[in-house]
């Protein structure tokens, strides 16, 4: 249950969480005023540092940058880049009690380090996320901030979130900030991928979520869209250039680049259009 915990640490932690549970109203009220007086982020930062100290072995505590982010729903992200840790917490959590922020710190750090999330923290966070006020706020955020169409990255065959993480690691040193990634709702055939810099989103044609499509081809299309994030459009004499020479150069670094071009031509022939493309 509490596997992975340092035994010396566990009783103290259990004690404080236990109190929080026994008298949620009271614990909440008694903790909140003190907590509010302190800078929320520096306090939250201490929980993250603490989680790294306990879960990271002797790797030490990295520099941590924390900020709130207006995600569409209750979601949080953590990533590591050049030795620094970047955490984005859903701004719904601005008023969360300290125990919840601590639980969140442990959950995110566990996830980053590939460790099992301590059950106790999982429970604290889950209970918080299921309180009516939080569920309502999450619902409103999802509706109000939702992307043009709310869809999903998990397809029937390919998971775009996983694919993104893999490509990001392999070709971008994990430096591409994660956009919203979804499969298209309609089975668009001539445009296979699209990056929208206003919405910070990538949409991949649902036609590629198929056993008939090799993984490297779906990856190539996503890779192309990721390059649009790495190489923003350049404005030259009032014209916007999306596929600059630096972009094209990077694009050819993809190991299946030649095969992908052939596949694109083949798709175009099947449909008698000049060329299928990733926009
Ligand atoms: Zn493009």
Specify the higher pLDDT residue, 129 or 17.
129
DSSP per-residue string spanning 173-191: TT-SPP-EEEE-SS--SSE
Percent of the chain with pLDDT over 90: 42
Nearest to 205 by CA among 193, 215, 223: 193
Is residue 279 over pLDDT 90? no
Distance CA 276, CA 274 (A): 7
Residue 242 CA, ligand 1 centroid: distance in Å: 6
Residue 7 CA, ligand 1 centroid: distance in Å: 53
What is the pLDDT averaged over residues 138-159?
74
pLDDT band at 205 (very low <50, low <70, confident <90, very high): very high
Which pLDDT does position 64 carry in this prediction? 92
SS3 content of the chain, % helix, strand, coil (to 5): 50, 15, 30
Which pLDDT does position 151 carry in this prediction? 61
- For domain 160-278, the CATH architecture is 2-Layer Sandwich (3.30)
pLDDT tens by residue, 77-101: 898 888 899 998 998 888 899 999 9
Residue 249 CA, ligand 1 centroid: distance in Å: 13
Residue 181 CA, ligand 1 centroid: distance in Å: 15
Residue 177 CA, ligand 1 centroid: distance in Å: 18
Distance CA 107, CA 121 (A): 7
Q: How far does CA 198 lie from the centroid of its chain? A: 18
Residue 193 CA, ligand 1 centroid: distance in Å: 8
**Most confident option among 1-5, 27-31, 35-39, 110-114:** 110-114
Helical pair 132-145 and 119-129, crossing angle rounded to 10 deg? 70
pLDDT band at 75 (very low <50, low <70, confident <90, very high): confident
Percent of the chain with pLDDT over 70: 80
Is residue 149 over pLDDT 60? no
Nearest to 28 by CA among 16, 10, 14, 43: 16
Residue 78 CA, ligand 1 centroid: distance in Å: 28
Specify the DSSP class assigned to residue 59.
Answer: G
pLDDT tens by residue, 239-253: 888 899 999 999 999
Please tell me whether residue 24 adopts helix, strand or coil conformation. Answer: helix
Specify the higher pLDDT residue, 14 or 279.
279
267 CB neighbour count, 10 Å cutoff: 19
Instruction: Find the range with the poorest average confidence among 108-122, 140-154, 162-176.
Output: 140-154
pTM for this one? Answer: 0.47
Residue 86 CA, ligand 1 centroid: distance in Å: 28
Contacts of 30 (CB under 8 A, 6+ apart): none
pLDDT tens by residue, 16-42: 222 223 333 333 333 334 444 447 778
Residue 127, classified by CB atoms within 10 Å of its CB into exposed (0-12), middle (13-18) or buried (19+), is middle
Nearest to 252 by CA among 265, 263, 241, 261: 261
Label each residue of 249-269 as H, E or C. HHHCCCCCHHHHHHHHHHHHH
Q: Are 74 and 129 in contact (CB under 8 A)?
A: yes
Is residue 147 over pLDDT 60? no
Is residue 168 over pLDDT 50? yes
Residue 226 CA, ligand 1 centroid: distance in Å: 9
Equal CATH topology for 10-145 and 160-278? yes
Instruction: Find the range with the poorest average confidence among 15-24, 135-144, 231-240, 261-270.
Output: 15-24
Residue 168 CA, ligand 1 centroid: distance in Å: 17
Residue 243 CA, ligand 1 centroid: distance in Å: 6
CATH number of 10-145: 3.30.2010
Distance CA 49, CA 206 (A): 41
Domain range list for the chain: 10-145, 160-278
Residue 145 CA, ligand 1 centroid: distance in Å: 26
Longest Cα–Cα distance in the chain: 70
């Amino acid at each position: 249950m509490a596997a992975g915990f340092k035994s010396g640490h566990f009783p103290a932690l259990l004690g404080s969480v236990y109190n929080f549970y026994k008298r949620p109203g009271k614990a909440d009220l008694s903790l909140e005023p003190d907590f509010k007086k302190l800078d929320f982020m520096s306090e939250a930062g201490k929980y993250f540092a603490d989680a790294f100290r306990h879960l990271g072995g002797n790797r030490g505590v990295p520099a941590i940058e924390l900020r709130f982010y207006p995600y569409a729903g209750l979601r949080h992200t953590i990533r590591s880049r050049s030795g620094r840790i970047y955490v984005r917490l859903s701004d719904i959590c601005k008023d969360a009690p300290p125990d919840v922020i601590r639980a969140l710190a442990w959950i995110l750090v566990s996830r980053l380090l590939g460790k099992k999330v301590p059950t106790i923290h999982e429970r604290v966070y889950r209970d918080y996320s299921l309180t009516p006020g939080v569920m309502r706020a999450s619902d409103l955020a999802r509706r109000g901030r939702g992307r043009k169409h709310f869809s999903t990255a998990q397809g029937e065959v390919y998971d775009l979130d996983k694919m993104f993480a893999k490509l990001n690691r392999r070709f971008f040193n994990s430096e591409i900030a994660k956009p919203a990634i979804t499969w298209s709702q309609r089975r668009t055939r001539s445009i296979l991928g699209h990056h929208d810099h206003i919405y910070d989103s990538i949409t991949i044609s649902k036609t590629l979520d198929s056993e008939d499509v090799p993984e490297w081809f779906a990856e190539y299309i996503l890779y192309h869209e990721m390059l649009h994030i790495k190489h923003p459009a350049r404005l030259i004499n009032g014209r916007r250039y999306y596929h600059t020479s630096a972009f094209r150069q990077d694009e050819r670094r993809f190991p299946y680049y030649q095969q992908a071009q052939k596949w694109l031509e083949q798709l175009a022939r099947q449909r008698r259009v000049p060329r299928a493309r990733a926009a």
